[in-house]
Amino acid sequence: MTTQHDLQQKYPGARAWGFGDSPHMADELGALVASGAKRATCSDYHAWRQDAEPTLPGDYHIILNGAGEPLCVIRTHTLRMVAFCDVTDTLAALEGEGDLSLAYWRHEHEAFFTRAGCFAKDMLLMFEEFALVERC
C-alpha cells in the first residue's frame, strides 16, 4: 500500500485531506473520486479565501479515506466562483454524487453548508474541477 509519505515525496507540496465533515463522508466521497465518478467539488468561497494556502490550478492533493489512509491523488485544473443558487445541472453532475441531479446536489450541499453554519441560497462557492492522477 502506498503511504502518504511516499505520495508527498512523489508530489512535493501536495496537501492531504478527506472530503466532507465525517469519516463516513470521507469514505463515500473519496471512493467516488478514486473511481473517476467525482471530478469536482466546491467549498464556501470565504473559507477558501481565508485558507493560508488556497487551492490553485495545478495543485496536487492526496485524498484520504475516513481512517486517514490515501485513496488517490488528484490535480486541480479549474477554479470558478459561483453562487449556490447559480450552480447548473452540468456542475452538479461533475460532483458525481447521488443521481447526479441538480436537485440531489442542492439538497446534500444545503445540508452540508448548514451544518458548517454558513448556508445561504446566494452564498458564494469556489467550484473546483480536478483530474484523477493516481489510485492508491
The three cell numbers of residue 60 are 496536487
pLDDT in tens, 58-88: 999 999 999 999 999 999 999 999 999 999 9
What structural domains does the chain harbor?
4-131 (3.10.400.10)
pLDDT recorded at residue 121 = 97
Cell numbers 490535480 label which residue? 75
pLDDT tens profile 73-126: 999 999 999 999 999 999 999 999 999 999 999 999 999 999 999 999 999 999
* pLDDT at position 21 over 80: yes
pTM, 2 dp: 0.94
Q: 3-state SS of the chain?
A: CCCHHHHHHHCCCCEEECCCCCHHHHHHHHHHHHHCCCCEEEEEHHHHHHCCCCCCCCCEEEEECCCCCEEEEEEEEEEEEEEHHHCCHHHHHHCCCCCCCHHHHHHHHHHHHHHCCCCCCCCEEEEEEEEEEEEC
Q: Report residue 35 as a C-alpha cell.
A: 473511481
Residue 52: the pLDDT is 74
Q: Does residue 1 carry a pLDDT above 80?
A: no
CB 131, CB 77: distance < 8 Å: yes
